[in-house]
Chain A
C-alpha cells in the first residue's frame, strides 16, 4: 500500500511537469498545426539558464527560495525570448509551405539548440544545488519533499492561470478564434501574427517552469535533458487529444501516473524478468493503444479526415 501511495505521488509530480510541457505543444499545434519539435529543448535551456543564475548568485548569501525564484524568472525571460525568435525565424516564413517543411526546420532547431547548449554550457552534466529544505514529509506512509510539493502547487496555479487567460481574457478569445479559423479571425480584427507570437511565449514560459522544476527535482541539468520530457509531453498531448488544453493536462498527469505505477510494479508482476528500466516504453505502448482505439485522444473531438 505504501508503495502504491508513493508511486501515486511520484506519478503526480512527474505528470505535472509533463502537463506543463504538453500545454506548450498543444497550444502551438492547436493554432498552427505544427509539432514544435524544439519545445523540449526550450525546457532544457530553461533549466540551464536557471542553473547558471543560481551558480552566479551562490555567494550572495540570498536565501534558497529567493535564488530559485530569481533563476525561475531569468529562465522564463530567456525562454520566452528564445521561443519568440524561433517562431519568427524558422516557422513564420514557412506558413504557406508544404506541410513537412516547418516540421524539418523544427527538428533542425531542436538539433541546433542542443548543439549550441553543448557549446555554451559544455557537454557535462551539472549538479543542480539543493535550494529548498530537503527533509521529507510523510503522507500516508509515503514521503514527499518540499520541491515536489512546490511542483504540484506551481503546476496547479499555472494551469488555473492559463485556463483563465484562455477562457476569460481578450487574448484568450483571440487565441481560440485563431485556432478555429485564422482567416476569419483576421477579418474580425484579430492579428494572427501577434496571437501566434503570444502562444509561443506562453508555451515557452510553461516549459521554462517545467525545466527549472525538473532540474530542482532530479538535481541535475544537461544539454540532453530536454529530449525525453519533450517526447513524452508530446505523447501526453496526443493522449489527451491534441489541440485541447484540458486534454493536455489530463494526458500529462495520466501519463505520469501510468509511468510511475508501471515502473513500480512491472518487476513484481513479471517476477523480476522485466525491470523498471522499461519505464520509458510505457508511454509509447499507452500511446499506441489509445491511438488505435480512440485516435482523437481522450478529450479530443472527432475531426473527420483532419491531417
Chain B
C-alpha cells in the first residue's frame, strides 16, 4: 500500500515535470495557457480560504491580485525613477528590487489590504458582504485608473511596463536556457516556478484545513454564534482568513506582473473576480481537489477551444470571434454545471456522517435558517 502511494506520487511528479516539455512541441502558446491556468489556480486556492473555509463570500478578490501586481510593477520597473527624480537620485541604476524581496513585501501589503477590508465588514453577513467586497474591488480599480495625477503613481489607464523579468538565485527566468540538451523557453521557466508555488500553496492549504485555525474557520462558516460560544475569537479568525486569502492573491499578482511584464488596471476588473469565485464554487467549495479541477477547467478549457474557433468565426461572419466564444463557453459552463451539480464537480466528502435527505417539497428552503436541515448544514459547506 505504502509503496503503491510512492509510485503514484513519483509518476505524478514526473508527469508534472514533463508536461511543458511535451506541450512546447506544439508551440509555446500551449505552455502559456498552462502557465495562466496555474496562476488562476493560485488565486482560486487563496479565495478558497476566504470563501470555502471561513464562508465569507468575497467578490472583490481581484483587488489583492492587483495590489500584488502593482507592488511588483512599481518596485521592479522604470516607472518610479522616471517620475520621481528623488527616487532616481537614490537609485542611480534604477529601481530593480529582487523578486525574493518583492514577494514577501507584496504578500505583506496585500495581507494588510485584506485585513483593512475585513475590519469594517466584520459585522456583515452573506450578500451584504458580497456587495461590499465587490465595491472594494471596483474602488481599487478606479484608483489605479486615476492615480496618474496630480502625482503619477500608477500611470493610469496606460499601465506600467516594462517590468523586469524575474531572477531567482542568479537564474534569469526571462531568457531561453539550454539544460542537458533540452531547450527551455521562457514560458517553461515560469511553468516550473508557478508549479512550485502551486504545490507550496496546496500544502499550506491542506495543513491549514486540518489545523486549529482551519477548524475554527469552518466552525464560523457553519454557525458563527455557536463558534463564538465555543470560545473562538471570531473577529480575529475572520480577519486572519481575509489576510491569508489576500496574501495568496498578492503573491499571484507579483507572479502575474513579472510574467506579463506589463500591467493595466483593466486586467483586474470585476469579471476576473467573478471568474475566480466561479472556479472555487464550480469545483467544489472548501475542497482542495475540487478547487484545482474547477480552476484548471475554467482557465484552460476556453483557451484550448479558442483554437477551434477559427472556422466558426468564418461561418458566422466574424461575429463569433475567439474571445466572444470563450466568454460564451464560460457563461454556459457556469450555468450548466451549477444546474446539474449544485455542490460542485468534486464536492468535499461528507465524512461518513448520515446524510439527511432534504424534504422534496418545493419552496420550503427560502428562509436561510430553513435552507438545509441542521444535520446536513453541519456537513455541507454553506456560505452565509
Chain A residues proximal to chain B, CB less than 8 Å: 29, 31-33, 35, 89-90, 93-105, 107-109, 111-112, 114-116, 118-119, 122-123, 181-183, 186, 192-193, 227, 231, 234-235, 238, 242, 272-275, 277-278, 280-281, 283-285, 287-288, 291-292, 295, 305-307
Contacts and interface: CB of A to CB of B under 8 A. Distances in A.
A106 B8 CA distance: 40
B338 A305 contact: no
Contact of B131 (A238, A306, A307): A238
B326 to A, nearest CB: 9
Given A94-B339, A104-B282, A111 B271 contact: yes
B375 interface: no
A35 B59 CA distance: 13
B320 A119 contact: yes
B338 A101 contact: yes
Given A105-B335, A284-B139, A288-B132, 10 more contacts: A95-B366, A97-B343, A101-B281, A108-B278, A111-B327, A183-B363, A273-B150, A278-B142, A280-B138, A291-B121
A247 to B, nearest CB: 14
Given A99-B371, A281-B142, A295-B123, A107 B334 contact: yes
Contacts of B361: 183
A32 B366 contact: yes
Interface string B270-295: 11001001100110010000000000
B131 A235 contact: yes
Given A238-B131, A288-B120, A96 B327 contact: no
Contacts of B367: 33, 181-182
Interface in B105-136: 120-121, 123-128, 130-132, 134-136
Contact of A108 (B139, B334, B371): B334
Nearest to A185: B363
A118 B328 CA distance: 10
Interface in B296-331: 319-320, 324, 327-328, 330-331
Given A90-B339, A94-B339, A115 B324 contact: yes
A281 B138 contact: yes
A284 B138 contact: yes
A41 B39 CA distance: 29
B79 to A, nearest CB: 21
Interface stretch (B91-99, B172-180, B197-205, B376-384): B376-384
Contact of B335 (A108, A227, A283): A108
Contacts of A288: 120-121, 132, 135-136
Contacts of B123: 292, 295
Interface residues of B, number: 64
Nearest to A304: B225
B131 A112 contact: no
Main secondary structure of the interface of A (DSSP, over half): helix
A122 B330 CA distance: 19
A112 B335 contact: yes
B278 A107 contact: yes
Given A99-B383, A109-B331, A280-B138, A295 B124 contact: yes
A123 B323 CA distance: 12
B319 A307 contact: no
B225 A305 contact: yes
A292 B382 contact: no
B100 interface: no
Contacts of B320: 119
Nearest to A111: B331
B103 interface: no
B85 interface: no
B368 interface: yes
A103 B280 CA distance: 13
Contacts, number: 178
A103 B57 CA distance: 11
B335 A96 contact: no
Contacts of A35: 127, 130-131
Nearest to A237: B131
A100 B285 contact: yes
A44 B334 CA distance: 21
B341 to A, nearest CB: 9
Interface string B125-158: 1111011101110110011011000100000000
B349 interface: no
Contacts of B134: 231
A280 B338 contact: no
A234 B328 CA distance: 25
A183 B364 contact: yes
A182 B363 contact: yes
Contacts of A291: 121, 124, 128, 132
Contacts of B360: 96
Nearest to A284: B135
Contact of B128 (A118, A278, A295): A295
Nearest to B364: A183
Contacts of B383: 98-100
Contacts of A118: 324, 327
A119 B319 contact: yes
A95 B131 CA distance: 21
A152 B325 CA distance: 40
A222 to B, nearest CB: 15
Nearest 7 Cβ contacts at the A-B interface = A108-B334, A284-B135, A97-B342, A112-B331, A111-B331, A101-B342, A307-B368
B16 interface: no
7 contacts: A29-B127, A35-B130, A94-B339, A97-B343, A111-B271, A192-B362, A278-B142
A111 B225 CA distance: 36
A29 B130 CA distance: 14
B170 interface: no
B11 interface: no
Contact of A182 (B121, B327, B342, B364): B364
B339 A100 contact: no
Contacts of A242: 127
B7 interface: no
Nearest to B270: A227
Chain B CB count within 10 A is highest, among A29, A93, A115, A272, for A115
B365 interface: yes
Nearest to A306: B368
